[in-house]
Structure 1
């Protein structure tokens, strides 16, 4: 079954996160709307900042006075003039409004971003003589037409009744002013406009000033402000509706879509009958991922179960055919020879030989029945081994003392390498006797006399390795691949003779696995051997088994 890396977020987490994201975006949108409204208010009611005006330097110094890129210079009744300190007025954005000014008058107009404003207050002393005082007032706002909170006041200069400067806070460029100049200086020049000045020098060295005429009447400004605010409000609600749509779409994509996929898979599963694995690929909330994984697991298990069932049916059919064949051959021989003797067909001098054949076939039949019985016992779910802690070195010495003579009687050379090192294993000695007997019996059945049998045991770090090899008849690779399956023998033809039932190595594999070990066939061992059965068993200290 395929494995996919899947997200761990929960369905509840998805809903909470989506809702939280919606609320957060709504809050951010509200905050942004309020902030934008404040900026709009500031942009609507305030003069361009000095930083904004400074961005016009390239246009101004190049004498490109038309269409300066700041809307507030020409919106809501505002307009601007360009004044040369040498040549006078050189450009106006509103030809209907012209205000001829002198260089001195322009120089006293307040500059942009001023932090204070000047007030002109005439008064008389105790003797009745007239004086005027100009006072510098520091403020918290930039508009002379707005309510102003005066942070502090400072004396700037004092004039007599002829508006000559008598005393000043610091040296001044002019010693006398006109009433018009004082009005320009103190934002009292016009009842309609508020004037501000920005000095600059052109690229050819001419000194000039940009004079902004801004209306005192702010009614149109407030209309523009509220118009922009309501436009923003409309956009805000449009964004809220879009967020609701996105929230619904996300929930549908994360929940409804995978449920539909899972529903289709559930409908397909019974129709498929396990012929193909039905797989649901989904990444998302962990609850739906768990459901998908469970479904995929069930689908894979169903397919695996169907495959095993099919294999089991094939195995049963093959087993019945093999058992029938293996039992039929010796029974046929026994029946045929017995009937021949009964009918007197066999000569008296040959009867003893035929009786020996009948006895031999009966022994083969008995061995087959015993093998079938033993294999059926091993395959039974209740079959188990009785493991005890045994010194494997002592066990092998005792085993070969009893089995060595069998090789000499059958005229098979034997090469045994044992060790005196202690090798504690968890072993069922009787069952392991059967393992060695089956491998050795397999060696006798399929190798001619004179074939050398090699036995070696090695103690490794965590296990014991047992090698049983010979230099006899090699095993074909296609047979070696399934040699531990039931009814597989050293040749493909199931003919009578010296071959076994094909169950011996299957029994070996089962017993070794019950000992927590492994058995394998090596068809390319070191020379001069052509095949080797390699058994590995874990040392007792590396095994945990409640059957001990």
Structure 2
């Protein structure tokens, strides 16, 4: 169960563009950190290995006690030369051929011991005008000194450690290193230049030398000679310069990491946009777009909005095609009748007594075609995005009564009756022409789609709770066909029977809905109408106070 939850969380995370970008940035930061760490470690290693000392060797003291000389190949000792001798002076280990050749057992007494207090001091002096060297073997002896502490009024004495230098032996050498005097080198008449350098603690011009006497775990004597790089300002500056050159390598490495991270982010963005590109291509080819599982969560809203927009455009295109087909159908019928009757009259095949009927039919068909064109003009005008209604604050109830009076003659001519219940005041911001057209269209719709004898009721009232003025047109006719109830306000939404009989164009209710929308209200079909009414269309308009807000 836990593994499934983790897998689900991983899938969600991989669909997140933010998570992917953060992963790239985290990897980028990690690489930069690794570069900085590597440069720092390299610099520290360079400094650590540049000036090793006997303390570096003593870090491997446990290995030396068991003659494991391989430990002396430590990278920190790579710049040193090391040789190890046993108690008889036989060489047991040399770090390289140069150390084996230049560090000999005979030099051991001349090399300062790291642990003992003995050390050499070498001075240059003039004897009888000739340059000479005085070499002294010295030892340091520690002792305790009682030091008075405190102010002039008195205080406690403090015991501190002190040391003094004692000269145990000395010798005088001339410029050619011949022994002239002294008890330091008994039995020796001269020194070699290398022996003289070892006495000075110098392996060569760039390295110092010292020895370490120790015992193994088995009690065997060992002597280790370490020749380490000499510490001076010039050598230290060379190491610092080398460390600086290593640091410069971080710049191209960082630039490469930056380029790779930028490429990765750009690739993520391109991959994130691919579902949109595929959706556009699918729509262009007329296919159906399915939900894309690879769309990042951050772009899902954009993807959904895009597909919804394309669906709307497709629907609008289909509606436009249907509109053209319906208009062609509704115009073709009257024009065909007019053309046929006109041809018959022109050919003289119409009896004289039937000619007035033909002319009246042609007039009625022409009038119907003109009304359709007027409706199309009104519909297209209100559908234009730049259309703005001319809103005035009026008493809607008064205007509804006027429109009902205007339509009364048409209603009575169809054998229907008209009732008006519009008591004022019911003030709202409306376009008077749109309101009049809407009321007349609703009354005309009730007359056209019902049999004679139907009661039609026009009402207007103000709903204090909702803040709307409601204008309704109800009738006792046959009701709305359930097949078109949901799309009753769409253009040319009429039943097949009504279209075949020439009863209406299907634009009247579309104009009512659009008129209500541009005036800030809405139009709808009330499906919960009480008897004896079977159909009730409602036009809601915001009250003047609500519209001002």
TM-score, structure 2 length as denominator?
0.50
Pairwise CA distance, 1:429: 2.6
Deviations along 1:500-521, one digit per CA (max 9) or x if unpaired, are 2333223323433442333344
Deviations 1:124-147 (A, max 9, x none): xxxxxx9977389xxxxxxxxxxx
Is the Cα–Cα contact under 8 Å of residues 475 and 490 in structure 1 kept in the other structure?
A: no
1:43-192 correspondence to structure 2 within 5 Å: 43-47=49-53, 54=59, 56=60, 59=63, 63=66, 65-68=68-71, 70-73=74-77, 76-79=80-83, 92-94=92-94, 108-109=115-116, 134=140, 155-157=162-164, 159=166, 192=203
| Matching residue within 325, 338, 354 for 2:333 | 325
Match of 1:195 among 179, 188, 210: 210
**Alpha-carbon distance between aligned partners in 2 of 1:251 and 1:491, rounded to the nearest angstrom:** 61
User: What is the Cα deviation at residue 215 of structure 1?
Assistant: 1.8
Which residue number in structure 1 is paired with residue 523 of structure 2?
519
CA distance in 1, matches of 2:391, 2:471: 19
Which residue number in structure 1 is paired with residue 496 of structure 2? 491
- Seen in structure 2, the aligned counterparts of structure 1 residues 199 and 473 have a Cα distance that, compared at 3 Å, is farther
Distance in 2, Cα, partners of 1:533 & 1:53: 103
- Is the Cα contact below 8 Å between 1:40 and 1:229 reproduced in 2? no
Q: Are 1:425 and 2:425 an aligned pair?
A: no
Structure 1: any 5+ residue segments left out of the alignment?
A: 8-20, 111-116, 123-129, 137-153, 164-177, 181-186, 278-292, 347-353
Contact 1:464 1:539 in 2 (8 A): yes
Query: Which residue of 522, 538, 541 corresponds with 2:542?
Result: 538
Shift of residue 362, structure 1, vs aligned partner: 4.9
Do the aligned residues in 1 keep the contact of 2:499 with 2:505 (CA within 8 Å)? Answer: no
Matches within 5 A, 1:91-490: 92-94=92-94, 108-109=115-116, 134=140, 155-157=162-164, 159=166, 192=203, 194-195=209-210, 212-215=224-227, 240=252, 243=255, 315-316=323-324, 318-329=326-337, 342=351, 362=363, 366-376=367-377, 379-380=380-381, 385-393=389-397, 395-396=399-400, 410=415, 423-448=426-451, 449-450=453-454, 455=459, 457=461, 458-459=463-464, 461=466, 463-468=468-473, 472-476=477-481, 479-480=484-485, 482-490=487-495
| Partner residue in 1 for 2:9 | none
Distance 1:322 1:70, change over 3 A: same
Q: Which residue of 2 aligns with 1:350?
A: none
- The Cα of 1:438 is off from its aligned counterpart by 0.9
* C-alpha spacing 1:463/1:218, structure 2 compared with 1 (3 Å): same
Q: What is the CA–CA distance in structure 1 between the aligned matches of 2:350 and 2:78, rounded to whole Å? A: 135
Counterparts of 1:314 and 1:230, CA distance in 2: 82
Contact 2:80 2:228 in 1 (8 A): no
For 2:216 and 2:459, the matched residues in 1 are separated by 108
- Kindly indicate whether the alpha-carbon contact (under 8 Å) linking 1:372 and 1:503 is maintained by their aligned counterparts in 2: no
How far apart, CA to CA, are the structure 1 residues paired with 2:314 and 2:440?
Answer: 36
**1:200-251 alpha-carbon deviations (Å, 9 max, x no partner):** 997xxx99999752126769xx99x989988996996798499579859969
Contact 1:119 1:134 in 2 (8 A): no
Q: Normalising by structure 1, what TM-score?
A: 0.50
1:170: which partner in 2?
A: none
- CA offset at residue 462 of structure 1? 5.8
Cα offset, 1:325, TM superposition: 0.7
- Residue number in structure 1 paired with 2:189: none
Residues 531-540 or 403-412, more deviating:
403-412
Deviation (angstroms), 1:442: 0.7
Deviations 1:238-296 (A, max 9, x none): 984995798599699979x99xx9xxx9xxx9x9997679xxxxxxxxxxxxxxx9xxx
Once the 2 structures are TM-superposed, how far is the Cα of residue 459 of structure 1 from its aligned partner? Answer: 4.5
Mapped to 2, the partners of 1:525 and 1:199 lie a distance apart of: 110
1:506 aligned residue (498, 505, 510)? 510
How far apart are 1:197 and its partner, in Å? 5.5
Give the C-alpha shift of residue 432 in structure 1.
0.9
Closer/same/farther in 2, CA of residues 340 and 518 from structure 1, 3 Å limit = farther
3-state DSSP of counterpart to 2:226 = strand
Deviation at 1:488, TM superposition (A): 3.8
Does the aligned pair in 1 maintain the 2:397–2:423 contact within 8 Å? yes
SS at match of 1:495: helix
Query: In angstroms, what is the RMSD of aligned CA positions?
Result: 6.9
User: Secondary structure at 2:81's aligned position in 1?
Assistant: coil
- Residue segments in structure 2 that go unaligned for 5+ positions in a row: 1-15, 19-27, 124-135, 143-160, 171-182, 186-197, 288-301
Q: What is the CA-CA distance between 1:100 and the residue it aligns to? A: 12
Q: Distance in 1 between matches of 2:242 and 2:511?
A: 88
Kept in 1, the 8 Å contact 2:82–2:226? The answer is yes
- List per-residue Cα deviations over 1:42-96 (Å, max 9, x = no partner): 523332756x854x477568x472411623457542145799xxxx999953496
Return the offset for 1:412.
Answer: 5.7
CA contact (8 A) 1:415 1:453 kept: yes
Shift in Å, 1:446: 1.7
Alignment partner of 1:494: what SS? helix
